Amino acid sequence: MLPCIAHLAGLQLFISCCRAFACHSTESSPDFSLPGDYLLGGLFPLHSGCLQVRHRPEVTLCDRLGTFNDHGYHLFQAMRLGVEEINNSTALLPNVTLGYELYDVCSDSANVYATLRMLSLQGPHHIKLQGDLLQYSPKVLAVIGTDNTNQAATTAALLSPFLVPLLLEQIQKVNFLLHGDTVMFHDNGNPFSSYNIIAWDWNGPKWTFTVVGSSTWSPVQLDINETKIQWHGKDNQVPKSVCSSDCLEGHQRVVMGFHHCCFKCVPCEAGTFLNTSDLYRCQPCGKEEWAPNGSQTCFPRTVVFLAWHEYTSWVLLAANTLLLLLLLGTAGLFAWHLDTPVVRSAGGQLCFLMLGSLAAGSGSLYGFFGEPTWPACLLRQALFALGFTIFLSCVTVRSFQLVIIFKFSTKVPTFYHAWVQNHGASLFVMISSVAQLLICLTWLVVWTPLPTREYQRFPQLVVLECTEANSLGFILAFLYNGLLSVSAFACSYLGKDLPENYNEAKCVTFSLLFNFVSWIAFFTTASVYDGKYLPAVNMLAVLSSLSSGFGGYFLPKCYVILCRPDLNSTEHFQASIQDYTRRRSST
């Protein structure tokens, strides 16, 4: 099978070779060939190729006007000089004469033609393929060229079956003297020889070059005379041999295209930084760190919370402490005057429950100061919600009870007697408070308020807070107190025409409206501000609710006890009731 394939391939090569020779018969020039004991082949582009449409497999004619290639001509003459120097030397190859055959490979077709020509046998111009290629002896011993990658690949593919080397593969073994200089090569084929560094000059009609430096290998030395270099920039400035300039600090390199030297500079986003070990990718900061735009490093985040030593905390602490002292003083004042008409009309012993619930709500405010803890998060909102519920329940039932006594006791006696006999006031306060207690327990179990570290709102801060404000339990507890506030307002409004000593509509209405305004202001502020002092705003809303409740209900009665003792008498209250009865009967 192999002889058949070899014979067929030989026939095809023979036909191609014959056609090429027939279409490209030129007389050998003495400049292109030199007889010798051993022949070397040379492939050099003495002319530039030209693209044209061809309908037959003909070899391109290279000798055309205006296509002369200076670089190829220099390579051509370099080989001729090298062979002549070897032949003239008595030390390099004694008693051996080298010859050469040089070809102009201006195109791919000329390159194939020249390669086949060198593979042909001496005498007949044809290539004979046979089973044992070791016995085949083409006219050339080795080939130099070409300097074109595509043509070199084609030449190597044609030469390799015939075991004809490219001289570049053997050049690493060369070691000889040339004009007193040693010529030798590395294992990879690079020469050790010295070089002159030249700068081309295109000024004027002809181009020339100037030697601006030299490189030697023994000893290894590089000398450059920078004063001889003429740059084309303004004022002979040295041009930059980079695609892109270095980026500013904190700017990453975004590669444009395939080359890493061509990039655009993009600043690192906030929260990322550029590590000098990787200039092409911004790295994220740690969870406890932050970085502005275009940063080369990360900075520790500032941990913020409502600390005890801040001026805002001092003001709130002072106001809350003052409220606690007032509640304690009022409790003592009411205990001292428990049997007086003012205290009895205010609810008697029920007043101490109301004062205690306000004190519990005031005590919950201390959980807003300092770094949030688990007990503080559990109690601070829930304790206020439950305490304020008890206070509002007492206000509601007290106002409702006065309306029943003065307006419905005679009209609906059955209901009035049932209310009194079943202790309706106490029952209502207990049921209302238990309902809020269940809401708070559900809140604490299902939506447990916990200390948390918030990282999203502010890039440079870690906000320590509790998670109760965004839970459904907090909203339910707040809505329940809102419902009780509306009920208390309605009952107080129904008693707006009661006797003056029992008429609490104005003060209670004012305190409830102030309570509504406080919480509306808080939720409005929370919708636009979510910073470090939001707990302080929450405290202010709580303190306003507690203060308005205390001031609207208890301060007028304290004023009568302390400043108008003449109004705190049974006679005055009876006169007030008689006056109310006369007005009612007249209408």
User: Are 215 and 352 in the same domain?
Assistant: no
Q: How confident is the model at residue 21 (pLDDT cuts 50, 70, 90)?
A: very low
Residue 566: give its domain's CATH number: 1.20.1070
Q: Is 83 a domain residue?
A: yes
User: Are 331 and 286 in the same domain?
Assistant: no
Model confidence pLDDT, tens digit, residues 500-555? 655 566 777 888 888 888 888 888 888 887 777 888 888 999 999 999 889 888 88
Q: Is 145 a domain residue?
A: yes
Specify the pLDDT at position 18.
41
Q: Is 193 a domain residue?
A: no
Q: For 239, what's the count of Cα atoms within 13 Å in the CB-facing half-sphere? A: 9
- The most confident of the ranges 244-253, 323-332, 417-426, 487-496 is 323-332
Specify the pLDDT at position 234.
77
Which of 384-398, 557-571, 573-587 bottoms out in mean pLDDT, i.e. has the lowest?
A: 573-587
Q: What is the dihedral of CA 41, 45, 47, 51, to 10 degrees?
A: 120
Specify the pLDDT at position 433.
92
User: Are 296 and 320 in the same domain?
Assistant: no
Phi, psi angle pair for 222, to nearest 5°: -130, 120
Threshold 0.85, pTM exceeds: no
Q: Is 295 a domain residue?
A: yes
Specify the pLDDT at position 185.
61
Q: Determine the average pLDDT of the residues in 274-278.
A: 85
The boundaries of the domain holding residue 228 are 198-233
* 456 SS3 class: coil
Whether residue 120 contacts residue 127, with contact meaning beta carbons closer than 8 Å, is answered with: yes
pLDDT > 70: percent of the chain: 79
User: Are 428 and 536 in the same domain?
Assistant: yes
Which of 155-164, 237-246, 516-525 bottoms out in mean pLDDT, i.e. has the lowest?
A: 237-246
351: Cα separation from own chain's centroid:
60
> Mean pLDDT of all residues in the chain?
80
Whether residue 143 contacts residue 42, with contact meaning beta carbons closer than 8 Å, is answered with: yes
Whether residue 153 contacts residue 54, with contact meaning beta carbons closer than 8 Å, is answered with: no
Q: Is 243 a domain residue?
A: no
Q: Is 543 a domain residue?
A: yes
Peptide bond into 115 cis (omega under 30): no
d(CA 545, CA 531): 22
Helices assigned H by DSSP within 447-504:
472-494
User: Are 171 and 207 in the same domain?
Assistant: no
Q: Determine the average pLDDT of the residues in 99-104.
A: 92
Q: Determine the average pLDDT of the residues in 18-33.
A: 54
User: Are 287 and 317 in the same domain?
Assistant: no
Q: Is 244 a domain residue?
A: no
Would you tell me how many other CB atoms lie within 10 Å of the CB of residue 127?
Answer: 20
User: Are 366 and 280 in the same domain?
Assistant: no
* Token couple for 50: 């030209």
Residue 366 DSSP one-character state: G
DSSP string, 100-111: EEEEE--SHHHH
User: Are 173 and 256 in the same domain?
Assistant: no
Q: Determine the average pLDDT of the residues in 385-414.
A: 80
Q: Is 305 a domain residue?
A: no
> How many separate domains does the chain show?
4
Specify the pLDDT at position 177.
66
* 187 SS3 class: coil
pLDDT > 90: percent of the chain: 17
Cα 336 to Cα 78, 255, 550, 562: the distances in Å are 126, 85, 19, 12
Cα 313 to Cα 355, 525, 537: the distances in Å are 24, 19, 11
* Token couple for 388: 């304020």
Whether residue 490 contacts residue 392, with contact meaning beta carbons closer than 8 Å, is answered with: no
Backbone conformation region of residue 14, classed left if phi is above 0, alpha if psi is from -120 to 50, else beta = alpha
Q: How confident is the model at residue 583 (pLDDT cuts 50, 70, 90)?
A: low
User: Are 433 and 577 in the same domain?
Assistant: yes
Residue 60: give its domain's CATH number: 3.40.50.2300
Q: Which residues contact 129 (CB under 8 A, 6 or more apart)?
A: 6, 7, 9, 10, 13, 136
Specify the pLDDT at position 321.
93
Q: Which residues contact 37 (CB under 8 A, 6 or more apart)?
A: 96, 97, 98, 99
User: Are 372 and 492 in the same domain?
Assistant: yes
Model confidence pLDDT, tens digit, residues 35-53? 988 899 999 988 887 666 6
Query: Per-residue pLDDT for 370 more than 80?
Result: yes
User: Are 452 and 548 in the same domain?
Assistant: yes
Specify the pLDDT at position 197.
87
Specify the pLDDT at position 454.
84
- The most confident of the ranges 195-199, 378-382, 539-543, 572-576 is 539-543
Specify the pLDDT at position 439.
92
Sign, CA dihedral 334-340-346-350, equals positive
Q: Determine the average pLDDT of the residues in 228-245.
A: 77
User: Are 333 and 226 in the same domain?
Assistant: no
Backbone conformation region of residue 123, classed left if phi is above 0, alpha if psi is from -120 to 50, else beta = left
Tokens 């690949």 appear where? 153
